[in-house]
Amino acid sequence: MSRFTNVAKIFTAQKLVTTAGTPVQLTTFEIPEGTEIVVKAKSTNTGLISIGYSSATALASGTDCFKLSASQGVGVQINDPAQIWIDSTVNGEGVEIICELS
């Protein structure tokens, strides 16, 4: 698909970590091959969001995670957002995700 072609629709979702220190998986959804999703820490977050490929690697207290401050984001190419786990240093904080669908 050309970058100059409008996509048919987009997928958006939000995910909150109810209890800090208890990682959660993002929503499952089939993402087209070669499509990037963006995971962004909510602008209202006061703590850090940690991202990992498993519950253990997403722990905010660990060293194997990728950390985001409020409003920071990262793009990744995966076929299902549920491959991403998140944790938070503050109860009730989370992320927003978006991707283009063909």
State how beta strands 36-41 and 49-52 pair: unpaired
Stated pTM of the model? 0.89
Supply 78's token pair: 């995966």
pLDDT for 23:
97
Where does 9-101 sit in CATH, by number? Answer: 2.60.120.770
Q: Is there a contact between 101 and 35 (Cβ–Cβ < 8 Å)?
A: yes
**For each of the chain's 102 residues, which pLDDT tens digit applies?**
455 566 678 889 999 999 999 999 999 988 888 889 999 999 999 999 999 999 999 998 888 899 999 999 999 999 899 999 999 999 999 999 999 887
28, exposed or middle or buried, with CB in 10 Å at 0-12, 13-18, 19+?
A: exposed
